[in-house]
Amino acid sequence: MSLCKTSSPFLASLVLCVLVAGVFHAQVAQAGPPIQEMKASTVWVECIDGAGTGFVTGDGWYVITNWHVVMGAGGGGNADVLLSPSDRYLSRIVWHSQEPDLAILKLERRIPRPSVTFATDEFVEDADMVYAMGFPGAAEDIVNVESDFEVKITEGIISAKVTANEGTDMYQTTAALNPGNSGGPLYNEYGQVIGINVAKSLVIVVTFEEDMHGNMIEV
């Protein structure tokens, strides 16, 4: 199994700015980021010919990842969310977009992991501390080694907010990113997701919210 080809061999230290309506939580002073909870919300995502990272949302019923990670399954196809080599959760792709490189997976059964919270772009500043989480081994055809299912963490800062020619809002970060991090979360120092690690340099800002039934929808 190999990760779907991308336009860059590495993630170029760029993350997609994801603004999520209605789920912003005020930043509260604390001793440090809730690392264990952040790791618990970060999951391995796999389909027939790709693997990468995602994160839990929608009260444990949804996972967000990059479209290129699961595109081998096709729109409406199935992908697995793994907590370990033997602990798999089947999901269905309920929304995807090539530009931006995003997909929403609906799990067949609720995953016992905490849902992430989000911070909007207005609360992100240059030099803010950030933490990228994911599974570098997902890009190396390694799926049966327990240690490779341990979430890897790299830290850095927001070095710039950049805008692509098409008006795409992105962050540039000094946190080291690897291909297996694709689809994984970029957290701020409060444990809130501020972006999604991407393999393409040109993506657009997307807003998600929960409808009255708890389903993740694009707005």
| pLDDT tens digits along 72-118 | 887 779 999 999 988 999 999 999 988 778 899 999 999 999 999 98
Q: Given 41, 91, 96, 182, which residue is catalytic? A: 182
Q: Given 41, 68, 80, 91, which residue is catalytic? A: 68
Active-site residue flag, 101: yes
pLDDT given for residue 4 in this prediction: 35
Q: Where are the domains of the chain?
A: 14-207
The CATH number that domain 14-207 falls under is 2.40.10.120
Active-site residue flag, 87: no
Q: Given 41, 91, 96, 101, which residue is catalytic? A: 101
Active-site residue flag, 141: no
Which SS3 state, helix, strand or coil, does residue 153 take?
strand
pTM: 0.80
Each residue's pLDDT tens digit in the chain (219 positions)? 223 333 343 344 455 554 444 344 445 556 689 999 999 999 999 988 889 999 999 999 999 999 989 998 877 799 999 999 889 999 999 999 887 788 999 999 999 999 999 888 888 899 999 999 999 877 665 555 667 789 999 999 988 888 766 666 778 888 888 878 889 999 999 999 989 888 543 223 334 555 555 555 554
Strand partners, 24: 118
Strand partners, 193: 118, 187
Helix (H) or strand (E) holding 206, with range, is: strand 206-210
Of 143, 162, 144, 139, nearest to 66 by C-alpha is 139
